[in-house]
Amino acid sequence: MNRGILYGLSAYLIWGVLPIFWKQLQAIPPFDVAAHRIIWSFALLAVAVSFTRKWAAIHRAVRDPRTFVTFIAIAAILFLNWMVYIWAINAGQIVETSLGYFINPLVNVLLGVVFLRERLRAFQWLSIGVAACGVLWLTVRYGSLPWIALTLAFSFGIYGLLKKKSSLDSLEGLTLEMGILIAPILLFLAYRYSQTETVTGLESPRLAVLLLLTGVFTVAPLLLFGAGARRIPLSVVGLLQYIAPTIQLLIGVLMYHEPFTHDSQIGFVLIWIALALYTGEGLWRRQHRPGNPPSAVPANRPAVSGP
């Protein structure tokens, strides 16, 4: 197997099975879990940046007011995405989180039209329209918007949009984002823990180890994705991205027995049809574009942070 595909596949497989890991931390408030994820991710990322000697780029970004303010916004959006995702997993909403990451590629296209003034082809508009019908169907049948899915899809989409304009690569950018978040997180946790006799999660050795591993399960798939994205065409990355939400859906339905009613199935099928139209049309155009073979993902621009 191509090494790039192996790296990318490994990243998406890890992201796919992560709901099982987050379920083990169900006894801890979602904010505390997200806080520990930031702390231990920053620790690992700092080691990686030191090893690769990339602190200079981060220092330049911090000294540039416009870049730094942009990364404050990026960090806030990422924290919102992580909070909603972790809360939803432990609230028994794994199926809806998977819906969010199925919708996300189409949200990215829509954001490109709105903010980057990109022009869509007919099949791309059709795919967005079919996906909108799927969301509308779920809204009408259940009497409310699938807000978890939409929050995850749009927050991750806006995160990627802002990262697209960043001069930092994935490793440097995520390190800066965690660095921005870590100070307020530590202050809040210090205040919280000063008001209680026990530190949430750390009274149990098992939970303490799991909290430490939140950093590993955040950084490892990101590095695998970055390594894979440099070696494989963008079209392959586009196909691999559906692995994670598919696994999440199967875990939610088969492992945790979340409801997946006939109405839910219709909504998902409409969104899958939209993704098939969008992906199929993109692959066809790349194959029939004269003198322009599929390109690899730019080495310095993977904007993925993972669920």
For residue 69, pLDDT beyond 80: yes
The pLDDT assigned to 304 comes to 59
pLDDT band at 278 (very low <50, low <70, confident <90, very high): confident
Give the residues across from 204 on adjacent strands.
none
Average pLDDT over residues 60-76: 94
In this structure, is residue 123 part of a structural domain?
yes
In this structure, is residue 44 part of a structural domain?
yes
In this structure, is residue 299 part of a structural domain?
no
Contact 107, 131 (CB under 8 A): no
pLDDT band at 298 (very low <50, low <70, confident <90, very high): very low
How far is Cα 202 from Cα 63, in angstroms, rounded to an integer? 37
225-273 pLDDT per residue, tens:
878 877 877 667 777 889 999 999 999 999 999 999 999 999 999 999 9
Q: How many CA atoms lie within 13 A of 291 on its CB side?
A: 0
In this structure, is residue 300 part of a structural domain?
no
For residue 302, pLDDT beyond 50: no
Burial (Cβ within 10 Å: 0-12, 13-18, ≥19) of residue 257: exposed
Q: Count CB-CB contacts under 10 A for residue 287.
A: 10
Stronger pLDDT, 239 or 32, i.e. the higher one: 32
In this structure, is residue 59 part of a structural domain?
yes
In this structure, is residue 238 part of a structural domain?
yes
How far is Cα 14 from Cα 161, in angstroms, rounded to an integer? 24
How far is Cα 201 from Cα 209, in angstroms, rounded to an integer? 9
In this structure, is residue 64 part of a structural domain?
yes
131-189 pLDDT per residue, tens:
999 999 999 887 888 999 999 999 999 998 898 878 888 889 999 999 999 999 999 88
185-189, long-range: CB within 8 Å, 24+ apart, which pairs? 185/35, 185/38, 185/39, 186/39, 188/35, 189/32, 189/35
Average pLDDT over residues 2-9: 87
For residue 76, pLDDT beyond 90: yes
179-232 pLDDT per residue, tens:
999 999 999 888 877 777 555 556 688 888 999 999 999 999 988 887 887 787
In this structure, is residue 244 part of a structural domain?
yes
The pLDDT assigned to 234 comes to 67
Average pLDDT over residues 94-115: 91
Contact 53, 155 (CB under 8 A): no
How far is Cα 209 from Cα 199, in angstroms, rounded to an integer? 14
Stronger pLDDT, 67 or 286, i.e. the higher one: 67
33-62 pLDDT per residue, tens:
999 999 999 999 999 999 989 999 999 999
pLDDT band at 296 (very low <50, low <70, confident <90, very high): very low
Phi and psi for 51 in degrees, rounded to 5? -65, -40
The pLDDT assigned to 292 comes to 53
Average pLDDT over residues 70-99: 95
Domain that holds residue 195: 3-287
Q: Which SS3 state, helix, strand or coil, does residue 233 take?
A: strand
In total, how many domains does the chain have? 1
